[in-house]
Amino acid sequence: MSISKGSNLFTKFSQLNFIQNTIRFTGISTNQNERPSGPRMKKFAIYRWNPEVPGEKPHLKEYEVDLNNCGKMVLDALIKIKNEQDSTLSFRRSCREGICGSCSMNINGTNTLACTCEIDENLNRKSKLYPLPHMFVIKDLVPDLTHFFAQYKSIEPYLKRKNDIQVGEQQFFQSVHDRAKLDGLYECILCACCSAGCPSYWWNMDKYLGPAVLLQSYRWIIDSRDEFTKERVEKFLDEFSVYRCHTIMNCTTVCPKGLNPGLAIAEIKKLMSGIWKFPKKDASIIPANIS
């Protein structure tokens, strides 16, 4: 299998999952007669813990929300609860469009984004919300991602060149073929849903980088404009950084963007083992079009 074929797998997988997620997340009924008159009260059991309250243990607290007066997504319900019922409830959120990754949490047993996860309208079944599993909790639904982003920083997630170039005077040309290799990789929003769902990461997060960071690393390894491909791969030549991945594939199952971190890790392993040769890179330098 060539690199280009591998990139096509990323593209096709990403497109298929995006379509499936779009259908699932935007399945809004246009028939208003289907909804019964009167309130539709939905119960939400939300993980609560405040480290500033001595002796308080983690617990689930229940809230009720009328779905007739609430948006379709779980984040809409959380915002409504915080605004109208309990201002002490803490959670992260920003874009509300599945772009920033801030509102990642565990909803009914699945790591996902609250802003793109549709509320289960079965009123007889309460929705349970927890912070991302196997991570330290700052408060309520807010996980501590300090270690996660320290690992991300360690891979140097930016273009690296071996020659000195004045910023703004030149630009790198990238062919359509080389640009296509990044599809299914650059869309990662670092929500940590995949890493928090990986058993190998749970038990080895001090040394194993996890699926999110490794997918991001492969994004720079495969970029034709980067000249440190070999050095990036050599940083992983130990027993833990990459090889703690046992292809459980929880990462691919839960990714809210429909990406395939498991495939990215497999590509890195091929480069490390010599099954694949390092890709030839040709990023021509041309004068910048400065007006």
To 5 degrees, how large is the angle CA 116–CA 118–CA 124? 155
Averages of pLDDT over runs of 10 residues in the chain (291 residues) are 51 57 46 66 97 94 97 98 97 96 98 98 96 97 98 96 76 88 97 98 96 98 92 92 95 97 96 78 57 45
How far apart, in Å, do the first and last CA atoms of the chain sit? 43
pLDDT number for residue 4: 47
- Give residue 56's region: left, alpha or beta (phi > 0; psi -120 to 50): beta
CA–CA separation, 240 and 245 (whole Å): 8
CB 258 within 8 A of CB 17: yes
Which amino acid is residue 24, in one-letter code?
A: R
Structure tokens at 243: 């090889």
User: Are residues 258 and 21 in contact, defined by beta-carbon separation less than 8 angstroms?
Assistant: yes
| Residue 3: predicted pLDDT | 45
User: Residue 34: its pLDDT value, please?
Assistant: 57
Q: What is the pLDDT of residue 290?
A: 44
Cα 111 to the chain's mean position, in Å? Answer: 10
- Tokens read off for 138: 């700052």
Domains of the chain: 3-17+145-281 (1.10.1060.10), 40-143 (3.10.20.30)
- Find out whether 113 and 141 touch, Cβ atoms under 8 Å: no
Q: What pLDDT, on the 0 to 100 scale, is given for residue 273?
A: 87
**Which tokens is 238 given?**
């130990």
The DSSP 8-state label assigned to residue 271 in this structure reads: H
Q: State if pTM tops 0.85.
A: no
* Placement of tokens 């070999």 in the chain: 230
